[in-house]
Amino acid sequence: MQFIVRSATERQLITVGEASLHLSEEIKEKYYEIDWRGIKGFRNIMTHEYFGISVKMVWVVVINELPKLKKVAEKIIKELE
């Protein structure tokens, strides 16, 4: 079960990274508090260096970064509606 949860979490982080690549520079500049380059970089690591990913690295992103990103994503979605 732990493997399934980890795999699903990692896949969703890749999806978040992919989605961030499609945001306009205007939106990224407006929400400068998010490390958009870091998201792209983490997505690249997750995609291309699978065996270099530690559970701790994923956990830190999920706990420390995802809540901030969720708040901004909700604002962006409202803007685009």
Give the closest residue to 73 by CA, choosing from 16, 15, 11, 8.
Answer: 16
Q: Which of 6, 11, 37, 43 is catalytic?
A: 43
pTM of the model: 0.84
Respond yes or no: is residue 48 known to be catalytic: yes
- Condensed to tens digits (0 to 9), the pLDDT of residues 35-52 reads 999 999 999 998 888 677
Determine the Cα angle at 71 with ends 69 and 73, to 5°: 65
Confidence of residue 81 (pLDDT cuts 50, 70, 90): confident
Respond yes or no: is residue 22 known to be catalytic: no
Domain ranges of the chain: 2-80
> Residue 79 and residue 77: Cα distance in Å, rounded?
5
Q: Which of 6, 11, 22, 48 is catalytic?
A: 48
